[in-house]
Structure 1
Amino acid sequence: MGLLFVGAVLFVNGLGLLGLVTARGGAPLNLLVGTLQVVLPTIALIQAPDLATAASWAPIYLFGFTYLYVGINALAGLDGTGLGWFSSFVAVMAVVQAVLSIEDDLAFTAIWLTWAVMWLLFFLVLALGRDELTRFAGWVLVLGSHLTCTVPALLGLHGNWPTSTGFGVLALALAVAVVGLAAVLARTAPAAATVPAPRTAA
C-alpha cells in the first residue's frame, strides 16, 4: 500500500520538476506519504519476528525521510542542498538493494536501479546545481513513478507479482526504455513551466 502512494508522490514531484506544480503545492502530499513511509516500517520493525524481516523493511525509511525532507523544505523555504546530499546516500543504498535482489527478484533489481537513477539525479540537480538535468529528472519521475511503484503496487496488492527471470529481464528492459524516453522528452517536449521548476522538489 505504501508503494502505491509513493507512485503518486513521485508523479507529483516529477510534475514539480517540470514546472507544473509548485514546491508548496506538492508539500502536503510529500508530508503525508513521508509520514506513511516512516510509520508503517516502524510498526513492522516492532513486530518483526527476526532480523531478516526487519532488514526487508528498513530501506523504506530512505524514501520516507526523502519525502518529509521535501515537504519541510518547501514549507520552510529552505534550499535543496542538504536534500541533494542525502539523495546521494539514498542512491548508493538503492544500488546495494538492487544487488541484494538479483537472486530472489530480478524485477525488483530493475526497480531499485531505477530509483538509484532518480536519487542520483536529485543529487546532481539539488546538491551540485546541475539545472540542465532538471527536466530530464522530471520526466524520469513522471514515467518511472508508474513503472516502479504504481504498477508493482497494484500487482502486489492482488497477489499477482511475478518473480520469474523472464519478467525480471522485461522489467530491466522497461527501466532502460523509461530513462531513454525521459531523455528524449527532456530535449524535445515543449517546456510547459507555468510556475518555476522548484529546486527543492524531489
Structure 2
Amino acid sequence: MSSVGLMYVGAVLFVNSLMLFGKINGKSAGVFNLFVGAIQVISPFYLIFTANGDSWAIFNASGIFLFGLTYLYVGITNLKNYDPSGVGWYSLWVAILALGYAGVNLIHFNDVKFTIIWLMWSFLWTLFYLLLAAKKDIGIFTGCVALIQSWITAAIPAFLILIGQWDAVGPKTTWGVTILTILLFVVAYWSTKPSASSKDQASNIKLRA
C-alpha cells in the first residue's frame, strides 16, 4: 500500500472510531468512508494496470481493495441505513485473508513490521464481524481498538515512510510498540466490558418490551 493511501487509512479509522463513540453521526462518517473508499479502489486498479505483469506488485495492490471495499460498504450502509450485518460478514472474510497477507509479508518479504500490522488489521476486522454480524456488545471496545490502530498501524507508519524514516525503526522499537499496543487493547477491553448488572438490566428491559 502506498504511504499516502496508508495515511488515509489512519484518517478513516480515526473517524470511524469517533462514530463508534457516538461523537460523529453515522451518515457524516459514511460520506468520508465513501471518499477514502473510492481512492482505495481506484488506486489499486492503476497499480495493477501499470505493473507490467509483476505478480508481487499485483499482490501488494490487491490488498488495497480489502480496505477500499470495506470503506465503500460502510459508507453506503451508513448513508442508506442498511442492516450492517453484511459489512460484518465481509469483515470476517477480510480478517481471514489478512492473516494470509501477514504470512506473505513474513515469509516472502521478511517484513516483521508489516506482518504485525496485518495481524492487527485482522484483529480489527474480526471485531467488526463480532460487532456487526454476531451482534456482540463491543462497540466502545471496537472504537478504542480502531482509534489506537489509526495511529499505530496507519498514520504514524505512513508519516515515517513519507519522510524516509521507516527503516530506522528497529526491532526493539517494533516489539516495544507492539507489546504496549496489546496492553492498551487489554486495558480497553476490561475498561469497556459491560458489567453483569448492566447485562441484567438490559435483559430485564428486553423482557418488559
Deviation at 1:45, TM superposition (A): 0.6
Equivalent residue number for residue 22 of structure 2? 19
Give TM-score, length-normalised by structure 1: 0.87
How many Å separate the matches in 1 of 2:119 and 2:180? 12
Q: Which amino acid aligns with 2:143?
A: G
Equivalent residue number for residue 124 of structure 2? 118
1:183 aligns with 2:189: yes
1:71 aligns with 2:75: yes
How many Å separate the matches in 1 of 2:68 and 2:193? 31
Q: Please say if residues 143 and 182 of structure 1, whose CA atoms lie closer than 8 Å, have aligned partners that are also in contact.
A: no
Q: Which amino acid aligns with 1:30?
A: N
Instruction: Provide the alpha-carbon RMSD of the alignment.
Output: 1.7
Give TM-score, length-normalised by structure 2: 0.84
Structure 2 runs not aligned, ≥5 long: 195-209
Q: 1:8 aligns with which of 6, 11, 17?
A: 11
How many Å separate the matches in 2 of 1:62 and 1:119? 10
- For the pair shown, which has the larger CA radius of gyration, 1 or 2? 2
Q: Please say if residues 98 and 109 of structure 1, whose CA atoms lie closer than 8 Å, have aligned partners that are also in contact.
A: yes
Q: Which amino acid aligns with 1:142?
A: L
How many Å separate the matches in 2 of 1:138 and 1:31? 19
Cα separation, partners in 2 of 1:164 and 1:87, compared to 1, 3 Å: same
Runs of 4+ in structure 1 over 2 Å off: 162-172, 184-188
Equivalent residue number for residue 150 of structure 1? 155
How many Å separate the matches in 2 of 1:114 and 1:175? 10
Greater helix fraction, Structure 1 or Structure 2: 2
How many Å separate the matches in 2 of 1:109 and 1:34? 23
Equivalent residue number for residue 57 of structure 2? 53
How many Å separate the matches in 2 of 1:105 and 1:185? 33
**Partner deviation per Cα, 1:49-108 (whole Å, 9 max, x = no partner):** 311111111111011000000110111110101110000011111111112222421111
Structure of higher RCO (CA pairs closer than 8 Å, 6+ residues apart): 1
Q: Number of residues paired by the alignment?
A: 187
Deviation at 1:185, TM superposition (A): 4.2
Structure 1 runs not aligned, ≥5 long: 189-202
Equivalent residue number for residue 160 of structure 1? 165
Q: 1:107 aligns with which of 113, 126, 131?
A: 113
How many Å separate the matches in 2 of 1:167 and 1:151? 13
Q: Please say if residues 41 and 61 of structure 1, whose CA atoms lie closer than 8 Å, have aligned partners that are also in contact.
A: yes
Equivalent residue number for residue 199 of structure 1? none
Q: Please say if residues 31 and 79 of structure 2, whose CA atoms lie closer than 8 Å, have aligned partners that are also in contact.
A: no
How many Å separate the matches in 2 of 1:108 and 1:182? 23
Identity %: 37
Q: Please say if residues 27 and 71 of structure 1, whose CA atoms lie closer than 8 Å, have aligned partners that are also in contact.
A: yes
How many Å separate the matches in 1 of 2:175 and 2:105? 13
Q: Please say if residues 34 and 67 of structure 1, whose CA atoms lie closer than 8 Å, have aligned partners that are also in contact.
A: yes
- Segment of structure 1 superposing worse, 102-111 or 51-60: 102-111
